[in-house]
Amino acid sequence: MPLRIERVIPPKSRSDSIKVSLGPAIEANFQRKRDGDKYVMDRGVISVNQPADLPDRDGMWVTGSLPYADADRWRALFGGKDPTGSSLSSAFDLKIGALDFAGRRLNDVTLRAGTRGEVWIANVSSKELAGEIFWHPEGLGRLTARLKYFSLPDATPGSKDEPPPRDLPALDIIADKLVLDGKDLGKLELVAVNQVLDWRIKKLVLTGPESTLTADGTWQSWRVQPRFSVNITGLEISDIGNYLERLGYPRTMRGGAATLKGNLSWAGSPQSIDYATLTGHLDIDAEKGQFLRAQPGAARLIGIVSTPLTLDFRELRDKGFAFNTLSCGVDISNGTLATRNFRMNGPSAQVSMSGRVDIVNETQDLQARVEPSVGESTALVVAAVVNPVWGLGAYLLQKILNNPLGQALQFDYHVTGTWAEPEIKRLKAEVRNVAPQTQPSLP
């Protein structure tokens, strides 16, 4: 490309100016002043695809628009000191098609940034984030951000693995909208510190229209086997159906409220769960919801809860199983969930379950027991399952004698196979003995 360099020294002046042009797109303009026997940079501008007009104040400016930039390779050139030892502030006013920074790529970027002392201040707008960012370089660095929205940028194409925790800065981030995989998860508040040996999340709060998640965690910094541990101090959900739809699982459940607490850990980084090494414990309590037909993918894990009801109870299968209460403790080891105390009570039936669920291979091996409640809504279901005569008799006893016959029926199942194609085997269906009610004595 053609290169032109022009130096102008005004008469009787202790300053000079240098103008540079490279090809049709790049221009630069620098103004210096004499300090003893040397020249010191006073102000300057490098422009891409626009004229290089000197700024009104001291410092080095980079302006214009360009299709691509690698911020990491340029970062060391700005904000330092020039060879004469004088400090030279830097500022940017750029539009960039793709910007690589810290191993991540931002797209369609509008950037205005400058320095205040040693602190970098930037106003950024891109597809992935928008807001104000502050960079404090002391120590291992601290990044403070106040964002309108944020979604984790994709890794830089061809980049190496993410840096170990010891290279990560401290974080203080508030984003009014957190977006992951195209899903709006609500407002994010994150405070994290680098403790050299590990990177610790001191505060994580995620607030959505129907949920609040609070947690803390630690990313251990071993280079060979990094591991992330998170302590879920509370997940409060006011509408499970809407919450699951927000996560990308629509028509999985209607209504319902739930709380979840526990701890999880897995090998690797906090950015993605490694299900093969997932370990921990969760306690779940829910009430007043209704299971709908499970959708493909991870939603089938939720559908396992109502799977035993699909074999015999067509009424519940078609309309969805409504429950009053649900409680469950889950132990997790290397991607396998184990439970012994799953309990779900509803107006149509009571369900208990125990066994294991493999979330890596999406299979299950569960023992389930269903005890139907015999009332107006389920008398016809029971009649079809056992026999018409017994079903009619049960219905009449329920109406006339007010006998709690929900304790007299039980169905046992063995659920295996995959989430997509579960195999449900009915082990037995029996009428249990019910202790006779004590009759009041006649006066």
pLDDT, tens digit (0-9, with 9 covering 90-100), for 25-40: 999 999 999 888 888 9
Strands (E), 375-421: 409-417
Residues (pLDDT < 70) of the chain are: 75-88, 159-167, 221-224, 293-300, 310-318, 374-409, 430-443
| d(C-alpha 271, C-alpha 192), whole Å | 14
- What stretch of H or E contains 384? helix 379-385
**Given this model, what pLDDT does residue 317 score?**
60
- Eight-class DSSP state of 166: G
Asked if residue 396 is part of any domain, the answer here is yes
Cβ neighbours, 10 Å, residue 411: 23
Report which DSSP code applies to 362: T
Q: End-to-end CA distance of the chain, in Å?
A: 116
Q: Which pLDDT belongs to residue 117?
A: 79
pLDDT in tens, 385-417: 444 444 444 444 444 444 444 445 688 899 999
Asked if residues 400 and 384 have their Cβ atoms less than 8 Å apart, the reply is no
Is residue 412 situated within a structural domain? yes
Q: How far apart are CA 139 and CA 171, in angstroms?
A: 13
432 assigned to some structural domain: yes
* H-helix or E-strand spanning residue 171: strand 170-180
Q: What is the pLDDT of residue 314?
A: 60
Question: Tokens in use for 61?
Answer: 């400016």
In this structure, is residue 258 part of a structural domain? Answer: no
Output the pLDDT for position 305.
78
Q: Is 361 helix (H, G, I), strand (E, B) or coil?
A: coil
Residue 298 lies in a domain: yes
Contacts of 173 (CB under 8 A, 6+ apart): 143, 144, 145, 147, 150, 188, 189, 190, 191
- Identify the pLDDT of residue 25: 93
CB 102 within 8 A of CB 169: no
The answer to whether the CB of 356 falls within 8 A of the CB of 366 is: yes
Is 409 among the domain residues? yes
- Tally the domains of the chain: 1
Phi/psi of residue 8, nearest 5 degrees: -120, 130
Say if CB 164 and CB 223 are below 8 A apart: yes
Question: pLDDT tens across 141-185, in order?
Answer: 899 999 999 998 888 887 665 555 456 789 999 999 999 888 899
Are 315 and 381 a contacting pair, CB within 8 Å? yes
Query: What's the chain's length in residues?
Result: 443
CB 216 within 8 Å of CB 238:
no
For residue 305, the 8-state DSSP code is G
Q: Tokens standing for 85?
A: 């030892």
Q: What is the pLDDT of residue 272?
A: 82
CA 324 → CA 20, 283, 362, 379, distances in Å?
Answer: 76, 17, 28, 19
Is residue 314 domain-resident? yes
313, part of any domain: yes
Secondary structure (DSSP) of 30-67: EEEEEETTEEEEEEEEEEESS--PPPSSSEEEEEEEEE
- Domain extent at residue 389: 293-438
